[in-house]
Amino acid sequence: MTRFELDARLAADTEEIGVLPLSRVLLMKDSTYPWCVLVPSRPGIREMHELEGGDQQQLMSEITAVSSALQREFAADKMNVAALGNQVPQLHVHVIVRYTTDPAWPTPIWGRQPVAPYSPEELQQQLARIRAAFENIPGFRSRL
């Protein structure tokens, strides 16, 4: 059985926040939005419906826990959750904080703005902030 390996493009565009029982929890390196990505660590999965039933349920638990924690921590106006995968087929679920004042509002964020990188300092601050926000999510751990 093939081992799970994070897609190279996802690895390049993100920094790891930590892990949940099923998913890697990643921060998209675009400072425009607080933007997390969950990647279930199962090889060869492109669609949520390809996961086994127990993993589907676990994924939903993880999505909602992350979404709820981000909404609270960042005082989101709205959460956006999406599994698209047109460019990177490895199943990955975006969980994004939206504000009515953000540059893409009210449209979805993809392709609306060039990526605005974090400075190294901002990146560490954002990671620390999100790790703290996630510390009570069952099974969450940072692998630092």
Q: Name the site residues for its own copies (rule: CB under 8 A).
A: 46-49, 51, 56-57, 59-61, 63-65, 67-68, 71, 78-87, 89, 98, 105-108, 110-111
Q: Report the C-alpha gap between 2 and 5 in whole angstroms.
A: 9
Question: Are the CB atoms for 48 and 64 separated by under 8 Å?
Answer: no
Closest CA to 90 of 37, 140, 15, 141: 37
Nearest residue (CB) to its own copies, 52 versus 122: 52
Q: How far is the CB of 120 from its own copies (least distance, A)?
A: 30
Nearest residue (CB) to its own copies, 26 versus 93: 93
Q: How far is the CB of 27 from its own copies (least distance, A)?
A: 19
Q: Which residue matches tokens 């921590």?
A: 73
Asked if the peptide bond before residue 120 counts as cis, ω within 30 degrees of 0, the response is: no
Q: How far is the CB of 129 from its own copies (least distance, A)?
A: 19
